Structure 1
Amino acid sequence: MTYSVLVVDDEPNIVLSLEFLMAQLGLEVAVAHDGEAALEEIARKAPDLVLLDVMLPKCDGYEVCRKIRTNPTLKDTKVVMLTAKGRDTERERGFAAGADDYITKPFSTREVNERVRLYLNEKNASCST
């Protein structure tokens, strides 16, 4: 089974980097450059995991995360926020919105890979029980 990841960020260099990393893991990758496009892509094809920036045009990452969490068909979708906003209050806000994890930029590619593998392995384990 091939897992799918939606990369949501408005910075082209970060999108390119994450797209490459996820493809290296053998994942199907989709991209959105703003919050509205992310929600449209999610409605089109629900991803297994979303790598979500907080500061996005049109609809911020917190709102995208809340909308994912209020949709029962997306209950198994993992959300990892990737953002430059690293203060504790911002992290708490991300978790309150329903994020599974919160990684601050600049991020370690190894850390992102490890977290993505962790969440997709958890998803795989819950599907087989």
Structure 2
Amino acid sequence: MSWAKRAVLALLTAAAAASVSACEPEEDSGEAAPSCVYVVTYEGRTYQDVANVEFTVGHELGTATQPPCDDTGGRNRSEEPSTTETAYAVDGISPTVAIAVGDAPDDVVFVAVRSGNELPAEVEKLIARSW
């Protein structure tokens, strides 16, 4: 891998890690607005969205759950319902590592399990191949 691709990959990884800092208010025209990291659970594992990944959607796996956003820290999470979306396999990657979620196979978000701020090696390889 070239030096330029490694630098871009490092920047993308750092940006993804920074987005993992969870829910924080964003400034929008002087007013605070809620902003949450896209998180879903599937079969007891928690996945977070990963940008800039080219992948192929596989077969339908089941249902993934998106918990309510708790961006204020004081709101009762039971006040907002969880939502569900269809979970799909990602060709070439185990569902224990990454899945795609959405309403239809052509309208999905790539999500992966993280270890701290680290992405699994399989996901890093997909990102590198996307460049």
TM-score (norm 2): 0.30
Which of the pair is proportionally richer in helix?
A: 1
Give the structure with the higher percent strand: 2
Structure of greater Rg: 2
